[in-house]
Amino acid sequence: MLLVVGLGNPGAEHASNRHNIGFMAVDAIVRRHGFGPFRAKFHGEIAQGDVAGVRVLALKPTTYMNDSGLSVAAAAGFFKIPPADMLVLHDELDLAGGRLRVKRGGGHAGHNGLRSIHAHLGADYRRIRLGIGHPGDKDRVTAHVLRNFAKADEAWLGKLLDAVADGFPLLVEGDDPGFMSKVALAMKPPKPKAPEPAAERTPERTPDGNDGL
């Protein structure tokens, strides 16, 4: 069994915030792979489905970001899921919009949702870092993450969420490099090959030996 957690803040006023890209990604996975409906449980919303022959629980904590670990620990404890079988999708300031990385273990880099999960369960879980870009000034970070995605972001946001949902079976199978490659290809498909130049036409010869031009 795999526990997939999207991080964000509850409520319609936060639904389109950059900080909620984890919620958005989990919603895309649930839709694409035909999970059952979300229901309120474990201080969050949880849905279940089967992907690549594995039972998957999708969780969106409704505790607000800073207390995400409370919800994750409740669900993980009930189903006896160790951190090694957890995936956490969250916003990442240090990656440009449309980029992602998969990482296991390590620090929380000041992300309050990860900080809370670390406090409850430790760091030995996989996290999918979904880039939202940095505002360029640390004093503007809070406003940046709690602001809705800009119109300019729409070009890559939908494409990224679709790519995460499409590639999700690779994550379930433990093929993190394959997942990252698949998403990268979807975000930046190879340029089409230039057409080959037409073969030069050989002049025809007339019966008297002159070029037929």
Task: State how far the Cα of 80 lies from the Cα of 92, in Å rounded to an integer.
Answer: 28
**From 14, 19, 33, 43, the catalytic residue:** 19
| The Cα angle at residue 57 between residues 53 and 58, in degrees rounded to 5 | 120
Question: Would you say 100 and 130 are in contact if contact means Cβ atoms under 8 Å apart?
Answer: yes
Does the annotation count 19 as an active-site position? Answer: yes
| The Cα angle at residue 64 between residues 63 and 65, in degrees rounded to 5 | 120
Using DSSP, state whether 175 is helix, strand or coil: coil
Burial class (CB in 10 A: 0-12, 13-18, 19+), 12: exposed
| The Cα angle at residue 176 between residues 39 and 124, in degrees rounded to 5 | 70
Tokens (6 digits) for 121: 């369960």
* Catalytic residue list: 19
